[in-house]
Copies of this chain bind each other. A is one copy, B any other.
Amino acid sequence: MRVTQQDIARISEVSQATVSRVLAGDERVDGQIRDRVLAVMNTHNYRPDVRARSLRQRKTHLIGLVIKREVGSLQDDPFFAMLIAEVVDALAGSPWHLCLDIAADTARQHSIYDELLRTRRVDGLILVESEASDERILRLQQDHFPFVLIGNAAEMPELHAIDNDNFRTAEIATSHLLEQGYGRIAFLAGPQTLTVTRDREAGYRNVVPEAMVAYTEFGAHSAREAAAQLLDEYQPDAILAMDDTMAMGVIQAARERKLAIPQDLGVVGFNDTPLCDHVEGGLTSVNLQIGNMVQWAIRRLVDVIDDTSVLGGRQAIMGCELMVRGSSVRGKL
């Protein structure tokens, strides 16, 4: 049978209220009594019931992470594993826990919204890859539900959000390829509807002499097909891919065509995932400092949950670092 504050109180010969105060570290409780209660708690191995606490404090200490992708893509793209790992890491040792949900289809997204928020299962939400136009965001806003975006929200400055400067990162990656002597650089973009895609494309176009762009879905498979088309149509000597997984697709397409990397084709990805090490010579990739972004997001989210008054700016831009590896360097590394 479970031991409650009531039990501790009875044994310690104090009231339940006092036990609660001791637990909270209330200064006003007499030292001797505190010690006695603490001792009893210890010997009886008492732990507060988080369900009761949640109800009373109106706080579950759960943070929801909702990933808007096919469940299967979690395995394909280590980016999401990185993301989850960083969240778990940032939450470790804190009183907060992670509630995870993944779904791409709208219906399921809505039911997640219902389940997680309306029923007050979680205290706040971290949203990834959401577009500002997303209807869910409006609902969250009008419900005054605490949430933080990882991703662009420049057009909605009232939201809490952190992102990279996608224009800049694309510029940096493209410039690097130019400096390495690649002249015909193509951009293998993600879905055209996404802000990330458009921002990166703009950065790319700003640097490149002649633009060659293909839009496609995320994932290695569709990237491979799109890359094949790019290669056949434009004969580029380098491809900048939207992420490492898509870069792997590019490499597969190059392999089919007997194109050597980096001699015949330079390749650069995004996210700096462990995939980079599985490419011979290494895959050059833009490290977006997802760890720092997650830490910022969680710190901010917890602040918002604890107190709706906001300290500091609502949005932040994270720096990035180009990790140069073999796939984009023709000479000696």
- Which residues of A does B touch, CB under 8 Å? 2, 45, 47-52, 54-55, 58, 60, 62, 71-72, 74-76, 78, 80-82, 84-85, 88-89, 92-93, 97-103, 108, 111, 114-116, 118-121, 220, 248, 252, 255, 273-275, 277-280
The answer on a CB contact under 8 Å between B88 and A47 is no
CA distance A70 to B105 in the complex (A): 32
With A55-B52, A85-B75: A47-B118 Cβ-Cβ less than 8 Å: yes
From B48, B84, B89, give the contact of A119 (CB < 8 A).
B48
CA distance A227 to B125 in the complex (A): 43
From B62, B103, B220, B274, give the contact of A75 (CB < 8 A).
B274
- Knowing that A71-B92, A78-B78, A88-B101 touch, tell me 18 more A-B residue pairs with CB under 8 angstroms: A45-B118, A47-B119, A49-B119, A49-B120, A51-B51, A51-B60, A54-B55, A74-B84, A88-B100, A88-B102, A92-B103, A99-B99, A99-B100, A220-B274, A220-B277, A220-B278, A248-B277, A248-B278
B residues in contact with A111, CB < 8 Å: 93
The answer on a CB contact under 8 Å between A75 and B78 is yes
The answer on a CB contact under 8 Å between A255 and B275 is no
B residues in contact with A54, CB < 8 Å: 51, 54-55
CA distance A248 to B74 in the complex (A): 20
The answer on a CB contact under 8 Å between B120 and A76 is no
Q: Shortest CB–CB separation between residue A234 and chain B, in angstroms?
A: 25
Q: Shortest CB–CB separation between residue A284 and chain B, in angstroms?
A: 16
CA distance A85 to B99 in the complex (A): 13
The answer on a CB contact under 8 Å between B50 and A121 is yes
